Chain A
Amino acid sequence: MMLDDFLVRAALGGTGVALAAAPLGCFVVWRRMAYFGDATAHAAILGVALSLVLSTSLFAGVLTVSLLMAMTVSVLSGRGYAMDTLLGVTAHSALAFGLVAVSFVSGVRIDLMGYLVGDILAVSRADLAIIWGGALLVLALLGLRWSALLTATLSPDLAHAGGIDPKREQLVLTLCLAMVVAVAIKVVGVLLIAALLIIPAAAARPFSHTPERMVLVAAAIGVLSANGGLAAAYRLDTPTGPTIVCLATLLFLAASLVGRRLGPTASRATGPRQ
């Protein structure tokens, strides 16, 4: 059967993650949540340690810790520290505590690199089910709340006046972020998840005149990066997760070069030149 081939499973896993990451990545870019995504992803390594100690599923452990991390940051923000300071503290301390915690787990031989940069070639059928289940859930949630999320992103007051609670929409995004981190850890690892969220969305900006179009283009770029990166890594015998991110970055560079010729909207999107 087709799923017996590890390359096919890897391609399907990468595609699933790229599809879920596209709309969420756009929100991360629009709302300037890149650091937030990083912090949530870095906390995932603590979740790995936790699930090993408690011998629960990796997915559950990572999801729980990522969610807790995201909530903590949400609650702490606006209490005296600037957001980037807060995230700088939480992201790296979560990573450090996670790495220390993993070292305490004895008796299990852990391939730490696998969690840090991903091990997409080892994606099993069960992993595939989790990745696609999680990805579809994220897509469904974002799809259902789409207009409310966009309105809250534009302006919290505009959302209030339209009967939308921006805090609830923030919560939806936080939940989706934790979910994407949990399903993506196998594919690109905790260090590179944020890249998979942000780079395709940023690359899509010059070719988009509406938010919906930006999501579609980001999805196409993400899927292309995942599959192209997989193929390239196979040929060049390079680590797969980083190769995927490298390809996405090349596509981003090409997009910003082309975007510069596309008129005022595009040039505004790519940098401080206005």
Chain B
Amino acid sequence: MPLLTLHDIGVTRRGNTILAGIDLALQAGEIVTVVGPNGSGKTTLLRVIIGALTPTRGEIEHHSALTLGYVPQRLHIDPTLPMTVARFMALPRRRPADALHRALEQAGAEGLADRQMATLSGGQFQRVLLARALLGRPDLLILDEANQGLDHRATAAFYRQIDRVRRELGCSVLMVSHELHVVMKASDRVICLNGHICCQGRPEAVASSPAYRDLLGVDERDAVAFYRHDHDLAEALP
């Protein structure tokens, strides 16, 4: 049985259709990447899944015990709010100190526990968000353009970290991205979204599909070159 199933999800806001006819089943242990241009409804889809948005139509089916770990796109912490990494991780539920340190280690953010959130670099901040999501031992890890503000190298490193975490915890991963090239290698399945699901499949198959190229406006040679290039890059990095 799938971990989570979406049946014919549609979201309409002020007469605009943002999502329509989304059918999606996430299997246990699967890494799924959703790609699409800006305004294609990627974030809306995630918000429906985490329960922040009630869809206009359709329904979501999952185990009552399904635990979600959510890594938001970006998080602005008001500078008037003092917040150490350790305190941030313990929201909304307090956790034992050893669990906290283990999660930081898993996310590659060890040694940051006593730092103020406001003083972290972009990469450190993302790793702390990941560590916080891991604390709840999620069945499904959800990442919304988690590579924003990271350069290519840092993004590749961050995705490798996620792949490692997935293998360690055995959780599924659903992530959203507007760029395909670095994400693709680790994904089991890529879904092209533009209000509806345009195409989906193995990363290589999607990269060479006409629907994907139309959607993201790259011609065939670019797509292949990009893919190979970043494929090599990801391999080359330690």
Contact = CB atoms under 8 A, between A and B. Distances in A.
A269 interface: yes
Given A150-B91, A268-B118, A160 B82 contact: no
Interface stretch (B1-9, B72-80, B163-171, B177-185): B72-80
A161 B52 contact: yes
Nearest to B88: A154
Nearest to B118: A268
A157 interface: yes
Interface string A157-175: 1111111100000000000
A157 B50 contact: yes
Contacts of B231: none
Nearest to A272: B79
B15 interface: no
B160 interface: no
A219 to B, nearest CB: 15
B56 to A, nearest CB: 17
Q: How large is the interface on B (under 10, 10 to 19, 20 to 34, 35 or more residues)?
A: 20 to 34
B121 interface: no
Interface residues of A, number: 33
Interface in A215-247: none
Given A154-B77, A154-B91, A161 B51 contact: yes
Contact of B68 (A31, A151, A156, A161): A161
A156 B50 CA distance: 11
A268 B79 contact: yes
B70 interface: yes
Given A159-B92, A162-B92, A269-B80, A210 B52 contact: no
Contact of A160 (B52, B80, B116, B119): B52
Contacts of A159: 92
Interface in A119-170: 147-148, 150-151, 153-164
B82 A205 contact: yes
Contacts of B80: 29-30, 202, 205, 269
B91 A157 contact: no
B4 to A, nearest CB: 14
Interface string B77-107: 1111111100110011110000000000000
A269 B116 CA distance: 12
A15 to B, nearest CB: 25
B47 interface: yes
Given A161-B51, A265-B119, A155 B82 contact: no
Interface in B136-152: 142
Contact of A265 (B70, B72, B78, B82): B82
Given A155-B72, A160-B52, A210 B92 contact: no
A109 interface: no
A208 B82 contact: yes
A161 B70 CA distance: 6
Interface string A15-59: 000000000000001111000000000000000000000000000
A88 interface: no
Contacts of A32: 78
B84 A209 contact: yes
Given A151-B91, A269-B82, 15 more contacts: A147-B91, A147-B94, A154-B83, A154-B88, A157-B47, A157-B72, A159-B92, A160-B50, A161-B51, A162-B91, A202-B80, A205-B82, A211-B81, A264-B119, A265-B119
Interface of A: 29-32, 147-148, 150-151, 153-164, 202, 205, 208-214, 264-265, 268-269
27 contacts: A30-B78, A30-B81, A31-B78, A147-B91, A147-B92, A147-B93, A150-B92, A154-B91, A155-B72, A156-B52, A157-B50, A160-B47, A161-B51, A161-B68, A162-B92, A163-B51, A202-B80, A205-B80, A205-B82, A209-B116, A210-B82, A210-B87, A211-B81, A211-B82, A211-B87, A265-B119, A268-B118
